[in-house]
Each structure stands twice: as structure tokens, then as C-alpha cells.
Structure 1
Amino acid sequence: MTRSRLTLTIAAIGLASTVALTGTAQADYPEQDIRMVIPYGPGGATDIIFRLISKEAEKHLGESIVPVNMAGAGATLGSRNVKDADPDGYTLLGSHDTIALSKLAGTVDYSYDAFAPIALLTQTINIPTAHANHPVQSAEEIADYVSENPGEVRFSMIPSSTDHFFWVQFFDAAGIDMADVRLVGYPDTGEQVSALMAEEVDFAMFNLPSGGAYYEDGTFRPLAVAHPERLDSHPDVPTLRELGIEMDHSTSRGIFAPKGTPEEIQATIADAYGKALENEEISSRIENEFGSVVRFLAGDDYLEFLDENEAALTAAAENIDFQN
């Protein structure tokens, strides 16, 4: 055998061994704990929902899924950590629309396409809300109230976050001129709750995880639900569409992995989370405690969803001045 043929033969054997070892490693996945980065502090809706589902999903994976709260930089500290992690399936990101929102706001230079999207899990229905003493009783009355008090009506929001986009889309759907309203920025949901409770603002966008207890005790008034159907937990609260405001709005939570994560590993993770959501106790808690709906999408279906989601957010962003 010539030296060149010998070299090629050794190279071929080495390549075959590498492929075999890689295939075996993927077949045995997972072999250690998986880190789930949640780019928010503990106790919020995103943290609670991912912990709940992950605890069930790890039963199907055979290894623990360890939640790691990594708040900071508008949720981009955690997303960047996962984006730059090894694509081996042992670091995941549990996040939502904020990935695209941060790109649109100019906070980061990456969006969904910087990751390997694994699966959509839930959508949390958003709810325009007033304090209990406010004269507005329903979302359909907001436009008239703004018209009667131009420049004086205050809407709370976290700049460049989901509720910022919610109000921009709401104003458009309800025929409200943004020049006639005041958007008041807060750093987090907790401060928005305090501001509405103190009647420093007229309206805020909450959901059941953040506002449910206040709806129950009468501190806050839900004005509508931004969903095609009424919520079972609040059957007397109409949908925006019932009130003539053609708009749905939810916070869509899903799992992402570093770009380059093998498809076989992606499929294994998606399968485990899909099975977790088949647990009726889990799905019941998601709906009744967290005002969310289970919506499992994986593979091409999730990619299509993210494309449509980013297109809608991009359209809304045209009406937002992120410098203010």
C-alpha cells in the first residue's frame, strides 16, 4: 500500500470513528443534568411556568433539568449566555417574545435565528387592567376616555417589553392617537403593580400570574382578555373582539438551544416537553392558575410561528420611538 493510500485509509477510519462516537453520544443523550436558563428573576410567570413544565419533562429525559435564573440587561444577559454556550444540549433557554423585542429595540443584534428553536409550550393571555376606582369599566370605553382627557391618560409599561408593544397595538386597533396618551415606563412588573395600586397610572397590562390575585380581591379590574375566547377562570370578562377591538395578544413561551445543537438532541428535548404537557394536572394548572393555554409546536411549525410572530412585532415597532 502506498503512503498516500495508507494516509487516506487512516483518515477514513478516524472519520468513521468520530461519526460513530458522535452518533452514540447523541443516542445516549442526556447523560448529565441539563441547565435551563431563565432570563428573569424567581417568582414571575416565566420562572414559574418553566419550572413547572421542566419538572415533569425531566421524568421523560431521565436526568434533572436545573433552572438557573439569570436576570439582567432586559433579559438579554440570560439569552446571550445560552447563545454563546456549547451546542451540546446541556444548556437551554426558557424565554418568550422578548428575544425579538430586544433586537427591535436595538438592545442586542440577534433574534430568534441566533438559536435553535426547540418548542413553543404556552401562551399567556394578556389583560388590559384598571384600578378599582377608575371610571372605565370595560376596554371599549378606553378610547372615549382618552378622547375626553387628551394628553392626561397614563398607561404603564416596561420599555421595549411585551406590554409596550401591547399598548401600541391596542391603540391602533381601538383607534386611539398615540399623541393623546402618556406611556409611563417602569423597570419591572412589581413596580407597575404598585403604581396602579397607588393610582399613579390609569391602565396597565397584566395577566393572571401577575394580576390574578388583585382581580380576585377587587383591587384591580380586568377590562377584557386579549384572546379569541373568554378565560374559564374569568368567564364574565369579555374578549377584546367581543367589544369590537380586533386584537389578540399573548406572551408566547418556548425553549431555545444554542445554534448548532444536533437535530436528534433537539427532537429528544421537544418530545420530553410535549409529553410533559400531556399531563392533565400540569395543563390544568397552566390554564387555571396562570391564565395561559397549552400550545405545543416543534420543528418547522415552531419556526413558522416565530417568523409570523417577529413580523407582527416588527410592524408594531414602526410606531414606537425606542429613544424615549
Structure 2
Amino acid sequence: MTRSKLTLTTAIAAVGLASSLAFTSTAQADYPEQDIRLVIPYGPGGATDIIFRLISQEAEQYLGESIVPVNMAGAGATIGSRNVLESDPDGYTLLGSHDTIALSKLAGTVDYSYDAFEPIALLTQTINIPTAHANHEVQSADEIAEYVRENPGQVRFSMIPSSTDHFFWAQFFQEAGIDMADVRLVGYPDTGEQVSALMAEEIDFAMFNLPSGGSFFEDGTFRPLGIAHPERLDSLSDVPTLRELGIEMDHSTSRGIFAPKGTPQEIQDTIADAYGQALENEEVRSRIENEFGSVVRFLAGDDYLEFLDENEAALSAAAENIDFQN
């Protein structure tokens, strides 16, 4: 090839590259131009589904396009997460999920965790609460360890295998100085079954939160034993935090938005800004806090990445005490 032809070819390639970059930049600047699909890896009607729908309905006003929730339940929330994992990184498919992403990896259900996605923003945290039935002699969480020592092998804790409460109890036992060999973990398929079991006094303790246990706390059927959060909850202001009781742990269901790996940063920022503005709406915040027993906690960018790193490290430490085969 002559030098003149080589120069011409190089010039054409440069123009093509510049045009491609310009097109990509323009496409990102115009984002979004169509509806955005938000995959929720759970069935309709639960706290996760309702919270994401509530915030997304407000966020779409700042995007100028609809955010369409798509429930994709099954396989421990991994059908939905895998669908997003394999979607194009164009900003038109998002995942609304929580700690289950890391839990599934630690339990060996899937081979990916948070870092397989682009984390957009943390939105809310639902604070978890160790709970007893009203007739139980234990009055607060700091009495559980002594009760176990007095009744080794007889104290029954409910959990959904490999779910949030499974990890909650593993971490609680570690922080409270309880040997897992001295307790009985009783598995249930869902929260409803756990509620029924505690109500029937078939178990001693369960982990609930305000969406699942609030009405039972209010009518006295169940007793909240401590709040796994740095601050007390307004609706349970007389219940101390676990830290106040000498148990150094916080635990919550932390819900956030994720995008497929490779989604351009400009698109990530646009989505995060819309959700951040949505959470400034006082009516939205009030419903999140009063109806769903959750706290608004918006983190984006490096702050969210740091949060997820710390979250996964805590879950990994708890997982060392869990036999996922049983």
C-alpha cells in the first residue's frame, strides 16, 4: 500500500471513530428516549416490590420517560438478577434488589455478586428486629445468650435458609457470644410461615422488621427485642438498639438500583440523580418510613461502592458460621 493510500485509510478510520464517539455521546446526552425496564426479582405486593414502585414512579418525572416495573421472581431472586446481568448496558434495563445479590453468591446459588453490575444508588434500608412471642421470658436481645446457656440445644430460632435472617442470626450469635452448636435453627419457606410459627409458640425467636412484624408489635402479639440500627426507630422509640444492649451489630435489608456492567457513567449519573430527587419528596419519604418501616438512605457513586464492599465483607464473615448444606 502506498503512503498516500495508507494516509487516506487512516483518515477514514479516524473520521469513522470520531463519528462513532460523537454518536455515542449524543445518544447518552439524549438518554432516556424510551421506557426503562426495572426488573424486581420478587413477586408483586411485597415490601421490595412496593418500595421500588413508589420511588420509581416519582423518579420517572425527572427522567421524562416511564420506569416500567417487571416482577421476575424465582430461584431465590436469581432469575431476575441474571436477566439484568445478561442485558445490554444501555440504561434501559435496571435491577431493583438488595443484599440477596451477595447472599446468593455466598450460598453458592450463583457465581456473581455486586461487582458483576454497575451499582447506581442505595435507596432505603429496612431495619431488622430480633423478636419473641409475647409469652416468652426473654425481654430484650441481651438476655438471649444467657437463655441459650441455660437451655443448650433447646432454643429454636426461625430462618429462611440462605436468606437475610439466616445471615442475621449467624452474625447475632457471633456478636452475642452464642455457640451455634447450642441452638436449633428451624427453616421455613417464607415469612408468613415464620409469623404463624412464632404466633403458635413453636419457636422462640424470629427476625422480623416493621413491614412483616409491625402490626404484631402494635397489638402485643410479638415483642421486639432490639433494633439492629445505630438509632432507635420512631415507631418503636422505647425499644433500644442492639448497640445500646452491648451487641455491636447493625443489620438491615438495603435496597438499591443496579445496571448491567458497562453501562456508561453518564447514564448511571442520570439515573442516580433522578432517584435522588425522588427521595427528596416528603410524601414519598413519609410513606417509606411510616408505612414500610424503612429509612431513606441515598448513596451513589463511590459512597455506594464503599457501602457494598463493607456489606459484602460483613455477610462473608457471617457466612463462615453457616453450613449451607443443612
Where on the TM-score scale, by shorter chain, does this alignment land: which range?
Answer: over 0.9
Look up the equivalent residue of 2:204 and give its one-letter code: D
Q: SS of the counterpart of 2:137?
A: coil
Q: SS of the counterpart of 1:286?
A: helix
Q: After superposition, what is the alpha-carbon deviation per residue over 1:108-147, rounded to whole angstroms, capped at 9, x for unaligned? A: 1101110000011111110001122222222122112212
Q: After superposition, what is the alpha-carbon deviation per residue over 1:185-222, rounded to whole angstroms, capped at 9, x for unaligned? A: 11222222222222221111011111112212222211
Which residues of 2 match residues 96-135 of structure 1 at below 5 A? 96-135=98-137
Aligned partner of 2:226 in structure 1 is: 224
Q: Decide which moves more: 286-295 or 109-118.
A: 286-295
Instruction: Pick one of 266, 271, 274 that aligns with 1:272.
Output: 274
Alpha-carbon distance in structure 2 between the residues aligned to 1:12 and 1:165 = 54
Instruction: Pick one of 201, 204, 207 that aligns with 2:203.
Output: 201
Aligned partner of 1:2 in structure 2 is: 4
Q: SS of the counterpart of 2:79?
A: helix
| Deviation of 1:243 (Å) | 1.6
Look up the equivalent residue of 2:28 and give its one-letter code: Q
Aligned partner of 2:75 in structure 1 is: 73
Alpha-carbon distance in structure 2 between the residues aligned to 1:107 and 1:187 = 16
Aligned partner of 1:157 in structure 2 is: 159
Q: SS of the counterpart of 2:212?
A: helix
Aligned-pair identity (%): 87
| Deviation of 1:268 (Å) | 0.1
Instruction: Pick one of 250, 253, 256 that aligns with 1:251.
Output: 253
Look up the equivalent residue of 2:264 and give its one-letter code: P
Aligned partner of 1:13 in structure 2 is: 15
Q: Decide which moves more: 266-275 or 125-134.
A: 125-134
| Deviation of 1:24 (Å) | 1.0
Aligned partner of 2:48 in structure 1 is: 46
Q: Decide which moves more: 278-287 or 250-259.
A: 278-287
Alpha-carbon distance in structure 2 between the residues aligned to 1:193 and 1:282 = 28
Aligned partner of 2:177 in structure 1 is: 175
| Deviation of 1:176 (Å) | 1.2
| Deviation of 1:315 (Å) | 1.1
Q: After superposition, what is the alpha-carbon deviation per residue over 1:86-129, rounded to whole angstroms, capped at 9, x for unaligned? A: 10001101111111111111111101110000011111110001
Aligned partner of 2:312 in structure 1 is: 310
| Deviation of 1:5 (Å) | 2.5
Alpha-carbon distance in structure 1 between the residues aligned to 2:274 and 2:150 = 53
How many residue pairs match? The answer is 324
Q: After superposition, what is the alpha-carbon deviation per residue over 1:291-323, rounded to whole angstroms, capped at 9, x for unaligned? A: 221111111111111111111111111111111
Calculate the aligned-residue CA RMSD, in Å. 1.3
| Deviation of 1:40 (Å) | 1.1
Gaps of 5+ in 1: none
Q: Decide which moves more: 255-264 or 297-306.
A: 297-306
Which residues of 2 match residues 275-290 of structure 1 at below 5 A? 275-290=277-292
Alpha-carbon distance in structure 2 between the residues aligned to 1:111 and 1:79 = 10
Alpha-carbon distance in structure 2 between the residues aligned to 1:278 and 1:215 = 29
Contact 1:44 1:210 in 2 (8 A): no
Contact 1:232 1:288 in 2 (8 A): no
- Normalising by the residue count of structure 2, what TM-score does the alignment of the two structures yield? 0.96
Alpha-carbon distance in structure 2 between the residues aligned to 1:39 and 1:195 = 26
Alpha-carbon distance in structure 1 between the residues aligned to 2:287 and 2:146 = 37
